[in-house]
Amino acid sequence: MKKYLGVSLLFSAFVFAGCGQQADTSASGDSTAPEKVVIGSVGSDAEIWTFIAGLDETKDAGLSIEVKEIDSGPQLNAATVEGEVAVNAFQSLGYLLSFNHDSDTDLVPIATTYMEPMGIYADSIDDIADVPDGAVVALADNLANTARGLRLLESAGLITLSDDFDNGTGTPSDIVDNPKDLTFKLIDDTTGPRILPDVDLALISNTVAFEGGLNVLTDSLYKEEIDQNTKTSINVLATTEENADDPALQKLADLYHSDEVKDYIEDNFGGTKVDVQEDITTLWQDVQ
């Protein structure tokens, strides 16, 4: 994916698409015209940003937000690198770290948004203490969520990970103690709710769970809490290094954390998106 860097350099010769762009102000001379920002997103995140786009607060901030839905995480990040979107809203810090590592890119987070707790789900087990020996465990087949799921299994007392386990890139090979002899099945993370009848446990991220009719607060056997080991599970707004300080993008965090948006998220997503407001510079340094 190094080709994206070349595309990014080519785009730097032009006004960055959707960001730092005043909508026709140079032609019209209208200095009050809103500045257009194109946000790449998907699923429930796209719904939230579509809601934000229509708020009076967004207009008062001098912004015009366009939400562009792209169904694949790697494609969303690639679109950001290439300038198709100015910023994206869909991923955790762990996913971002993994993408940068795998693709040799340098996308950066500019603000925290929320954490959706990952949950451990089962069809036929009612308590985490009742997990049988030899249980088959489904894990998402991408580095960030594989590592995240393993860390959650450790928190639940089912496995022990190595001292140098990487929360962004760790794999089952980093397990140093597996007293129940769990076996692991890597799956497309979007299929988690559908494969529950075929496995003993499934580690499912909340967006996928919620869209599959599951509420992590009421339906999971065990779930993440915000702590030192779940920093990489915090979701962020991400853009290129060149655009990280763009004033228009810097306004997005305040819009996201407004009371009106918090109420919308509570009403529409059952409290499963836990609002997180942390200093992104410190947090990014901590997780790298």
pLDDT confidence of residue 27: 38
Q: Which residue has the higher pLDDT, 271 or 70?
A: 70
168 with 93, same domain? no
56 and 137 part of one domain? no
With residue 229 as reference, give the H or E element that holds it. Answer: none
Determine the pLDDT at residue 196.
Answer: 96
Q: How far is CA 157 from the centre of its chain?
A: 25
Residues 97 and 20 in one domain: yes
Which tops the pLDDT comparison, 64 or 31?
64
Residues 6+ apart with CB under 8 A from 62: 32, 34, 35, 248, 251
Average pLDDT of span 196-202: 97
139: containing domain: 119-224
The CA-atom distances, in angstroms, between 202 and each of 63, 90, 123, 175, 251 are 41, 21, 9, 17, 37
> Are both 264 and 219 inside the same structural domain?
no
How many structural domains comprise the chain? 2
| pLDDT for position 31 | 55
Of the chain, the end-to-end C-alpha distance in Å amounts to: 21
The CATH number of the domain where 98 resides is what?
3.40.190.10
For residues 54 and 195, membership in a common domain is answered with no
Binning pLDDT at 50, 70 and 90, where does residue 181 land?
very high
Q: Are residues 102 and 81 in the same domain?
A: yes
Categorize the per-residue pLDDT at 24 as very low, low, confident or very high, splitting at 50, 70 and 90.
very low
179 and 201 in a single domain? The answer is yes
108, 137: one domain: no
Which three-class secondary structure state does DSSP give residue 233?
Answer: helix
Residue 259, C-beta contacts closer than 8 angstroms, at least 6 positions apart: none
Q: Are residues 51 and 70 in the same domain?
A: yes
Residues 41 and 109 grouped into a single domain: yes
Q: What is the mean pLDDT of residues 159-163?
A: 97
Q: How far apart are CA 116 and CA 91, in angstroms?
A: 11
Secondary structure (3-state) at 222: strand
Number of neighbouring beta carbons within 10 Å of residue 188: 12
pLDDT recorded at residue 25: 30
Which tens digit of pLDDT belongs to each residue from 210-227?
889 999 989 999 999 888
Listed as own residue / partner, the contacts of 52-57 with beta carbons closer than 8 Å and 24 or more positions apart are 52/255, 52/256, 52/261, 55/255, 55/258, 55/260, 55/261, 57/255, 57/258, 57/260
Of 224, 242, 268, which marks where a domain is finished? 224
* 10 and 87 inside one domain: yes
Q: In the predicted model, what is the mean pLDDT of residues 170-180?
A: 96
Name beta bridge partners: 161: 175
Q: Which of 224, 254, 271 is the last residue of a domain?
A: 224
Among 224, 244, 279, identify where a domain stops: 224
Residues in the chain: 288
pLDDT at position 11 over 60: no
> Per-residue confidence at 184, pLDDT binned at 50, 70, 90?
very high
Q: pLDDT tens digit string along 35-67?
A: 999 999 998 899 999 999 999 999 999 999 999
Q: What is the mean pLDDT of the chain?
A: 88
Residue 116 clears pLDDT 90, i.e. is over it:
no
30 plus 83 within the same structural domain:
yes
Mean per-residue pLDDT, 190-202: 95
Query: Is a pLDDT exceeding 50 seen at residue 5?
Result: no
Which residues lie below 8 Å from residue 61, measured CB to CB, with a gap of 6+?
Answer: 251, 254, 255
User: Which pTM value belongs to this model?
Assistant: 0.71
